[in-house]
Structures are given as C-alpha cells and as structure tokens.
Amino acid sequence: MLSLKSKVKHAMVYPSVIVFVTIAVISIIMLFVIPKFAEIYSSAGQALPLPTQILINISNNFGKNSHSFYYFISRTNHRH
C-alpha cells in the first residue's frame, strides 16, 4: 500500500505538468509573439490603446529580466 507522501506526490504530477506547460507557453508568447506584434503596430503609426501598450511594456521587461523570473520559479519549485 502506498504511503500518504507517495500518494500526494503522484497526485501532484498532473498539476505540476500543467503549471510547467503554462509557464512555457506564456514565456514563448512574451518573448517571441508580442514583440512581433509590437513591430507591426509601431510601423502602422497609430496610437495604441493603453492595455496594448501595457502588454508590450510587460513583454519588453519580461525579455530583459526573464532569467530572474526563471530563477525564482526554479527556487520555489524545489521546496519540500
């Protein structure tokens, strides 16, 4: 019979995979997709709505500080 600790570890596999995939997808969007859209919109010469400007700024800062974000995630993920 499996111990409680083992059961909890097995139960946490799926949520952990979902969190990892979510972080990976958001990272790809922030690092590659949004900057491409920013280039397209900047060449249009029109003012962007405030939410779009905020998202582009977040994406720019994420690209500059992504190593800190991944370090923080890796450190919080290894707590027992």
Domain limits, the chain: 4-77
**Both tokens assigned to 48:** 């962007």
What's the pLDDT at 10? 87
Instruction: Say how far apart CA 79 and CA 71 lie, in whole Å.
Output: 13
pTM for the structure as a whole: 0.68
Burial class (CB in 10 A: 0-12, 13-18, 19+), 37: middle
Mean pLDDT of 2-15: 87
Burial class (CB in 10 A: 0-12, 13-18, 19+), 56: middle
Does residue 1 carry a pLDDT above 70? no
Read off the pLDDT of residues 36-77 as tens digits, 9 standing for 90 and up. 988 988 888 888 899 999 999 988 888 787 777 777 777 776
Structure confidence at residue 14 as a pLDDT band (50, 70, 90): very high
